[in-house]
Amino acid sequence: MEKKIRLYDKTFKTFIPNAEIEKAIDKVAEKINRDYEGCDDVPVFLCILNGAILYTAELMKRLTFPAELVSMKLSSYSGTASTGVVKTVMGMTGSIKGKRVLIIEDIVDTGNTIVDLKKICEDAGAGEVKISTLLFKPEVYKKDVKLDYVAMEIPNDFIVGFGLDYNEIGRNLPDIYVLDE
């Protein structure tokens, strides 16, 4: 059933129900667990705040190996559009020097943030950098950085819910909603 919600001046309709999101996360977690099975080191999950909080939490609950959690906050959106400029709002909360890092993102569209994040991790001395995203917009992604674990591909629409926001609200919604124009 299509549900509509209102956030500030915009109306959104149900796009991806929570059950589908959870199934997609299960599949990504299975792949990550296979790839990191039996590792001698403790990899670092780098949660990109605020959007990736829910995705990171759900992934971590499904891990079968120990992992460290580090966070940082970047910003590139204003309202419903990307500014094209990535700003560091809060630096990393721990060291990644010499460690295997798995960047956890809520959504990858233009890829500007991912390119910057990979460079930040390399400059901080990460031994390896991989990327996981809950949502991926392939029609607007034009970068060469490989995305290692993609939960779901979606069209280039503005969405909210499950960690994603519209001017900082809507992150708490368990389903994902699309702008209803």
Q: DSSP of 129-169, one letter per residue?
A: EEEEEEEE-TTT----PPPSEEEEE--S--EEBTTB-BTTB
Of 9, 26, 106, 109, which is the active-site residue?
109
Q: Can you tell me whether residue 106 is helix, strand or coil?
A: strand
How remote is the C-alpha of 18 from its chain's centroid? 16
CA nearest to 129, candidates 91, 95, 98, 108: 98
The answer to whether the beta carbons of residues 59 and 87 sit under 8 Å apart is: no
* Cα distance between residue 175 and residue 23, in whole Å: 13
- Please provide residue 18's backbone torsions phi and psi, each rounded to the nearest 5 degrees: -55, -40
Active site residue 109: yes
Q: Known catalytic residues?
A: 109
